[in-house]
């Protein structure tokens, strides 16, 4: 029987322009949207575990409603046995539109990064730039999600070169979930890998990976720490770096 430790934390950040928590996370048990949630964890041996983070797009109206709606819809679908696939994301987008594609909430938007762990199989789905990483028991990092940004789309089409420095604007999103019935051509990225004993899966919003340089982010990982202690370590590093954006972190470790 497999066992997973799930650790999680949130903070609304230190940017006074955005006093509300626009991030949301689903730890497999609860959908959470807290301004300041200290690191916590639980252990589960359920065969199927689904977790997710969502980051309300700050330039959209009532972004916190979009992130919460999307994760609440996902939790409800999974609770009744829905398959974890791209069709699930399309249905969730429909529910976002049903709830908010009207009046002052029209156009509210969010990213989404979600993972399903089932036996040795791990499936990743993401829209936008919230990320999922696999960290092997040996400490090797692998980004499983894909950042849906303008610059990445340009690189894929040959209009830009990987590794070159481009303007900040080009790092803006080119896909997310928007409360707009006409916006249906958003991209969904899918990846599937095995998750071995001792491996960890990290889900985080851009308030984490934008605040910490990748090298430091990796250096702060210590396989000897408990998942809760590791999540707290990253959280504190983001706060020490100024935490200019909301942050959400989820770390799942498969028992060795």
- Average pLDDT on 55-78 reads 97
pLDDT tens-digit readout, 210-245: 899 889 999 999 999 999 999 999 999 999 999 989
Which pLDDT band holds residue 53 (cuts at 50, 70, 90)? very high
DSSP assignment letter at 170 = G
- Average pLDDT on 5-19 reads 90
Which pLDDT does position 163 carry in this prediction?
63
- Above 90 in pLDDT, residue 101? yes
Which pLDDT does position 24 carry in this prediction?
98
Compute the distance between CA of residue 237 and CA of residue 27 in angstroms, rounded to an integer: 22
3-class state of residue 84 by DSSP? coil
Cβ–Cβ under 8 Å, residues 4 and 253: yes
37: CB partners within 8 A, 6+ apart: 8, 9, 10, 11
pTM of the full predicted structure? Answer: 0.93
Which pLDDT does position 20 carry in this prediction?
86
Q: What is the mean pLDDT of the chain?
A: 92
Which pLDDT does position 199 carry in this prediction?
96
Nearest residue to 201 (alpha-carbon basis) of 34, 24, 51, 44: 51
Describe the strand order of the beta sheet including 131-135 as a list of residue ranges: 36-44, 4-11, 247-254, 200-204, 131-135, 141-143
Q: Residue 45 has which token pair?
A: 């041996």
Which pLDDT does position 120 carry in this prediction?
86
215 vs 32, residue with greater confidence = 32
Which pLDDT does position 157 carry in this prediction?
64
Compute the distance between CA of residue 77 and CA of residue 49 in angstroms, rounded to an integer: 13
Which pLDDT does position 15 carry in this prediction?
82
Distance (Å) of CA 128 to CA 42, 53, 73, 153, 219:
28, 11, 18, 12, 25
Q: Please report, for the chain, how many H helices and E strands are present, in that order.
A: 6, 14
Which pLDDT does position 2 carry in this prediction?
80
- Residues comprising the chain, all counted: 256
Using a pLDDT cut of 70, give the percent of the chain over it. 91
- Average pLDDT on 33-54 reads 96
- Above 80 in pLDDT, residue 126? yes
- Average pLDDT on 93-109 reads 98
Cβ–Cβ under 8 Å, residues 130 and 112: yes
pLDDT tens-digit readout, 139-192: 999 999 999 987 666 766 666 567 666 555 546 778 999 999 999 999 999 999
Which pLDDT does position 150 carry in this prediction?
72
Which pLDDT does position 149 carry in this prediction?
81
Q: H/E element holding 68?
A: helix 63-79
Q: Residue 136 has which token pair?
A: 């092997």
Which pLDDT does position 4 carry in this prediction?
96
């Amino acid at each position: 029987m497999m066992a997973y430790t799930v650790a999680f934390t949130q903070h609304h950040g230190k940017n006074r322009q955005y006093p509300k928590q626009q991030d949301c996370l689903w730890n497999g048990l609860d959908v959470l949207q807290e301004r300041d949630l200290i690191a916590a964890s639980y252990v589960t041996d359920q065969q199927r575990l689904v977790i997710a983070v969502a980051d309300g797009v700050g330039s959209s109206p009532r972004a916190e409603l979009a992130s919460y709606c999307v994760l609440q819809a996902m939790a409800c679908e999974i609770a009744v046995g829905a398959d974890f696939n791209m069709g699930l994301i399309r249905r969730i987008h429909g529910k976002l539109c049903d709830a908010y594609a009207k009046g002052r909430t029209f156009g509210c938007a969010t990213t989404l990064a979600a993972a399903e762990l089932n036996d040795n199989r791990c499936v990743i789905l993401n829209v936008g730039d919230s990320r999922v990483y696999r960290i092997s028991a040996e400490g090797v990092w692998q980004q499983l999600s894909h950042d849906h940004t303008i610059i990445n789309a340009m690189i894929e089409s040959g209009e830009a070169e990987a590794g070159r420095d481009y303007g900040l604007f080009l790092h803006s999103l080119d896909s997310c979930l928007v409360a707009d019935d006409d916006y249906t051509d958003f991209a969904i990225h899918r990846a599937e890998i095995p998750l071995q004993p001792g491996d960890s899966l990290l889900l985080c919003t851009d308030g984490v990976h934008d605040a910490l340089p990748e090298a430091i982010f990796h250096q702060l990982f210590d396989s000897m720490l408990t998942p809760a202690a590791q999540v707290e370590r990253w959280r504190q590093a983001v706060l020490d770096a100024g935490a200019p954006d909301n942050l959400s972190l989820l770390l799942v470790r498969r028992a060795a």
